[in-house]
Structure 1
């Protein structure tokens, strides 16, 4: 399951990169498509949404999140760095990986689980409270985006296209891979994670790398709104 997910994500990134080259999109627009079409809100929306449907998949979801974030901050950042300066600083990419909070949390959790380490009740309870506050905070952040006025210009239609790819084509690719590899049962969380709306992280990355911030902001709003329906429809097939 892990290798299949990694292979699909890498394949999608490479194909999207190739398509942007063929269409001769400008650097900023190309990077926006490359990153936003594959990197969705797998942690802050994906985890609670899927966990509510399948409570027994908590550890599997952590692995899936690590895969998505890992690919985003390795191959994804590699491509961003290359487009930014036509060179790649390997040390910078490594630093991005080892300092990513999500990956650090997952790594520490995996180590504690593997070694049978249990935290003191006070610390465990504090972590639970922090974890419980994450989703409401993210919902507020998403709400701030969704309160933004959308202008129906060319950027809007690019955002619509990105949203369509993210919410429809991405899960379709995972469904096809599931059928080809005959791994229907184990790939359900992967399929639903693939259908998550565009990640808020993409907007933050646009502050550092040459991407279209307005398109990303619009894509976050549009894909998040539509995902209310699309995720409901998609998940209904697996319940």
Structure 2
């Protein structure tokens, strides 16, 4: 019960930020909502979120996982999504038409704003280092595979891998983990003066992104009034299929001694978080699947109040 309450309290601020954005979108201050959304999206996607990831990976006090299987498990988890989604794409109707948005929303989890606090609250401070490295891996892989599948399956035209690669190279979120790891090698005396001034901007990423989502919901009330099949499939993939795949990978690796229990738990819990707000920023940037991703973010965030404690309890029971 305490875990459920702790998670509910952690998810309350995101819900409030979305609500404030929705209400503000109806005022004269934000009468030109498309312009406001575009400006906030640029700030979140190209400034604040990259800094958030840089600071999360640059802290030298965070221990790096020692087992190679921890890194390989992340690669295997994301690789498993491709054939699974391709099979789903054989279905007819709206699910097939929105397959790229489903892929982006199911792959890209809210690991920074929800994942890290939740993991630390469940596993303790000793998990901070492992979770931070897991966040960096998740961001790098999700930022590569998610937009690539969105463009490939839902671009309205056949876009080559070269175009996908060029778009990804221009995304700061792809490079942010690498920049953070490079900064880790600097002397502590340099980092203690370099990182703190960046912290306020980095900390603004989640609330600004959530406020922007509220504006978008207000601007698209008609389109977002009802949940449809793509949003439901996205939510099932993110909250059910993703942690199930992660557990299916982590449990045998732990039993074989290839990763320790803490690494296995961190890996599974990172896979169980709701869809990232940054996924909406990416969909908006590419002008593809925005409505489906926005619905998925709202639905998975609400449902995670129940799903995260359940996955956490199951993970702790199976990986003791």
Unmatched 5+ stretches in structure 2: 1-69
Residue 151 of structure 1 is aligned with which of 225, 237, 244? Answer: 225
How far did 1:62 drift?
3.0
More moved, 99-108 vs 219-228:
99-108
Secondary structure in structure 1 of the residue aligned to 2:108: coil
The residue that corresponds to 1:68 in the other structure is 138
How far did 1:5 drift?
1.0
Specify the structure having the higher radius of gyration (Cα).
Answer: 2
Deviation track 1:160-185 (CA, whole Å, cap 9, x = no partner) reads 23212211121011111112222443
**Does 1:88 find its partner at 2:165?**
no
2:196 and 2:287 mapped to 1: Cα distance?
41
Task: Note if contact 2:106-2:235 (Cα within 8 Å) is conserved in structure 1.
Answer: yes
The residue that corresponds to 1:13 in the other structure is 82
How far did 1:31 drift?
1.0
The residue that corresponds to 2:276 in the other structure is 199
How far did 1:218 drift?
1.4
How far did 1:4 drift?
0.9
**Does 1:59 find its partner at 2:124?**
no
The residue that corresponds to 1:100 in the other structure is 171
More moved, 162-171 vs 27-36:
27-36
Task: Note if contact 1:73-1:93 (Cα within 8 Å) is conserved in structure 2.
Answer: no
Secondary structure in structure 1 of the residue aligned to 2:275: coil
State the Cα RMSD in Å: 3.0
Change (3 A) 1:116 1:187: farther
Please report the TM-score for the alignment, with normalisation by the length of structure 2.
0.62
The residue that corresponds to 2:302 in the other structure is 225
2:214 and 2:305 mapped to 1: Cα distance?
14
More moved, 75-84 vs 220-229:
75-84
How far did 1:16 drift?
0.8
Secondary structure in structure 2 of the residue aligned to 1:44: helix
Residue 185 of structure 1 is aligned with which of 253, 262, 267? Answer: 262
The residue that corresponds to 2:241 in the other structure is 169
1:179 and 1:137 mapped to 2: Cα distance?
37
Residue 91 of structure 2 is aligned with which of 20, 23, 28? Answer: 23
Residue 119 of structure 1 is aligned with which of 190, 193, 197? Answer: 190
Change (3 A) 1:216 1:120: closer
Task: Note if contact 2:104-2:147 (Cα within 8 Å) is conserved in structure 1.
Answer: no
Secondary structure in structure 1 of the residue aligned to 2:98: helix
Task: Note if contact 2:243-2:269 (Cα within 8 Å) is conserved in structure 1.
Answer: yes
Please report the TM-score for the alignment, with normalisation by the length of structure 1.
0.80
2:126 and 2:214 mapped to 1: Cα distance?
30
2:150 and 2:75 mapped to 1: Cα distance?
19
Aligned residues: 235
Change (3 A) 1:35 1:121: closer
How far did 1:90 drift?
2.3
Task: Note if contact 2:235-2:296 (Cα within 8 Å) is conserved in structure 1.
Answer: yes
1:143 and 1:94 mapped to 2: Cα distance?
30
Task: Note if contact 1:171-1:192 (Cα within 8 Å) is conserved in structure 2.
Answer: yes
The residue that corresponds to 2:109 in the other structure is 40
2:243 and 2:188 mapped to 1: Cα distance?
36
1:72 and 1:175 mapped to 2: Cα distance?
18
Deviation track 1:115-174 (CA, whole Å, cap 9, x = no partner) reads 44543644333233344444444554566578786523xx53431232122111210111
